[in-house]
Amino acid sequence: LTGTSREQRAFQYLLAHAIPGDPHHILQTFDQWCYHCEHLSCVGPDKGRIVERVLLEQAPLRVLELGTYCGYGTVLLAQGLPPGARLYTIEGDPQHAAVAEKVIRLAGFSEQTVELIVGPSEEVIPRLREKHGLINANLVFMDHWKRCYLRDLKLLESHQLLAEGATILADNVLFPGAPHFLQYVKTCGKYHCKVHRASLEY
C-alpha cells in the first residue's frame, strides 16, 4: 500500500532505531524487525553465529560474498574481519543493492573495507581480478540463488579465485536446497565437507 518494498521499510526502521556506526546494533535492529514486523530472508542470529565462528577461526584477509540482499550478511561478515581485510559482495538486483549500500555505510564500513558490486554473479566473477583487484578469496559466503551455487563455484575455480585452503560457506544447501552443489563438493575430491545444522531464518 505504501509503494515501498519490504527491504526499504526495513531500512526506514533501521534509520529510526539503529545506532549508526554500530554494526552489532544494526544487526540486532534488523533481527527485531524480522521477528516482530516482516520476514526478510537474512542470515539471522542463529546461522550468524556459525558465520562469526568461521571468521574467528579463519581470520580471512579477502572475503567474497555472493548475494548481498539487504546487507545483513555483509555487515555480519565485515564486523568480523581482521584488520586490513577486504570484503567484496555481489548483488544481482539493483533495488536490493541500493538498500544494501545504505545499510553497509550506516553500519560504518567504507568502500575501502566493503566493495559492493552490482550485477549477475556469472558476469561479475570473471572480472573480479582484472576490474576489482581480487587476487583470490580466503573465504566465500554463498547466499544467493541456490541453483547458481555450483555454476559459480566452478567459475571461481576456473578463474583461480580460490586461495589455497579457502573456505566455502554455503547457506540453505539442505532447504530449499542445492543438491547438485552438494554432490559436487562431496565427490570431486577438492573439498572437505561439513554440514552445520541450523534453524531457518527467524
* pLDDT 10s digits, 24-44: 999 999 999 999 999 999 999
- State the catalytic residues: 143, 146, 171-172, 201
| Cα angle, residue 68 at apex, residues 168 and 26 outer, rounded to 5° | 110
| Mean pLDDT value of segment 126-151 | 97
**What does the pLDDT read at residue 197?**
87
Start-to-end C-alpha separation, the chain:
24
Range scoring the smallest mean pLDDT among 11-20, 35-44, 193-202: 193-202
Query: What CATH superfamily classification does 6-188 receive?
Result: Vaccinia Virus protein VP39 (3.40.50.150)
User: Quick one: what percent of the chain has pLDDT higher than 90?
Assistant: 94
Entry pTM: 0.96
d(CA 165, CA 181): 19
49 falls in which pLDDT band (50, 70, 90)? very high
CA distance 63 to 70: 18
The domain ranges of the chain are 6-188
Cα 57 to Cα 42, 123, 168, 180, 196, distances in angstroms: 23, 31, 14, 28, 15
pLDDT value, residue 37 = 95
What is the predicted pLDDT for the residue at 1? 65
